[in-house]
Amino acid sequence: MIKRSQLFGHLLCLTSLLAHSVLAQPGELDPTFGLNGLGSFGMAASAEAAEAIAFQSDGSIILAGHTEAATDTTAWVARLLPITGLPDFTFGQGGVLTVDVGQGPERAFDVIVDAQDRILVTGFAFTDSLPHLFVRRLLPNGDVDTSFASFFGNGTYVDLMSQPSAAYSLVATPDGGAVAAGVLSNEAYRIRFDSTGVATYLGFGLSASGHGATVIRDQAFSGDSVLFAVGDGMLADRDMLLLTGGSAFFASAQFGQNGFQQLDLGEDEEGHAVAVDGQGRVLVAGHVGGNFTYDLLVARFLPDGTLDSTFGTNGIIREDLGQAF
């Protein structure tokens, strides 16, 4: 899954060439996809942003994001054909479905495809004067799955807390459910859904540990079904946080300090992506710096939560790409 690729005017989908193609070298744009490696579609709005990408079993490309018009922001899900990169006109209108949850603005931050090819999208929606976390499940063809969160209707779970909330990450669970993670007010927030959309709140307990304002931005399962989450929290400055849970998705004492690991380089660090390799090592990516000038930050942790000294410099790679980002 790729997140936060933001462009304006039209949305572009990029893909690199497969290593065995004879048309270009690995890492170059695939000229067989879209127009010279770029697949695009436009919507009736002044600005569009893609936040996440996933794949169905036939290779169809699922995108989620939002459009910004003069008076509203609308979340959407789109499907592109797997080979050509053109919009799939059998999906929604012109390959795009809008995600209308409330009466106000909506934004989609993540999308996944589960083992049954169903599409789940999450983000926030203004159902009253505040943004609220939502999760909607679609059938493989894009129709709303009314069996999900049937209490709420329209295949959509909406957080009913009296505080603002949003989800930035969504992962499928082996039992046909999902876990959404993000923020509730100023605290990292997770909700587990069973296969029917019944929700259970899973806290991290970070406020009690003095981490201040916290947020989760990404999640990933390891091969032994341990769920890792990465984000950041405010102490003296903003530090990257890596959290984990066992089969019940609560903190695991085998990782770091009671399931938590904090990366503090003396500046502001944020965690935006996490992945687990075949050896159980956890890679996190984000940025480090301050005053709107940041460097790319990648760190690798061993299964016990300690930094992997064989990776980069003492487990950390920091790269200045030549400009602030």
More confident residue, 169 or 243: 169
pLDDT surpasses 70 at 238: yes
pLDDT surpasses 90 at 251: no
Q: Which residue has the tokens 């046909």?
A: 176
Average the pLDDT over 142-149 and give the result. 96
> Can you give the residue ranges of every domain in the chain?
213-325
Name the pairing type of β-strands 268-276 and 260-263: unpaired
DSSP 258-319: TTEEEE--SSEEEEEEEEE-TTS-EEEEEEEEETTEEEEEEEEE-TTS-B-TTTTBTTEEEE
Q: Which of 9-13, 26-30, 94-98, 230-234 has the lowest mean pLDDT?
A: 9-13
| 78-127 per-position pLDDT tens digit | 999 988 888 999 999 999 999 988 778 999 999 999 999 999 999 999 98
| 314-323 per-position pLDDT tens digit | 999 999 987 5
pLDDT value of position 52: 97
pLDDT value of position 71: 77
pLDDT value of position 130: 92
| 286-321 per-position pLDDT tens digit | 999 887 888 999 999 998 899 999 999 999 999 998
Q: Which residue has the tokens 């480090």?
A: 288
Q: Which two tokens stand for residue 244?
A: 């984990």
pLDDT surpasses 50 at 211: yes
Mean pLDDT for all residues in the chain: 84
Structure confidence at residue 7 as a pLDDT band (50, 70, 90):
very low
Q: Which two tokens stand for residue 75?
A: 């979340």
Report d(CA 305, CA 272) in Å as an integer: 18
Global pTM?
0.87
pLDDT surpasses 50 at 6: no
% pLDDT > 90, the chain: 51
Structure confidence at residue 143 as a pLDDT band (50, 70, 90):
very high
Q: Which two tokens stand for residue 50?
A: 């893609």
At 117, give phi and psi (nearest 5°). 70, 10
pLDDT value of position 77: 95
Residue 301, judged by CB atoms within 10 A of its CB (0-12, 13-18, 19+), counts as buried
Sort residue 247 into left (φ over 0), alpha (ψ -120 to 50) or beta: alpha
| 24-64 per-position pLDDT tens digit | 678 888 888 888 888 776 666 668 889 999 999 999 999 99
Q: Which of 20-24, 89-93, 171-175 has the lowest mean pLDDT?
A: 20-24
DSSP conformation class of 257: B
Structure confidence at residue 3 as a pLDDT band (50, 70, 90):
low
pLDDT value of position 204: 62
pLDDT surpasses 50 at 17: no
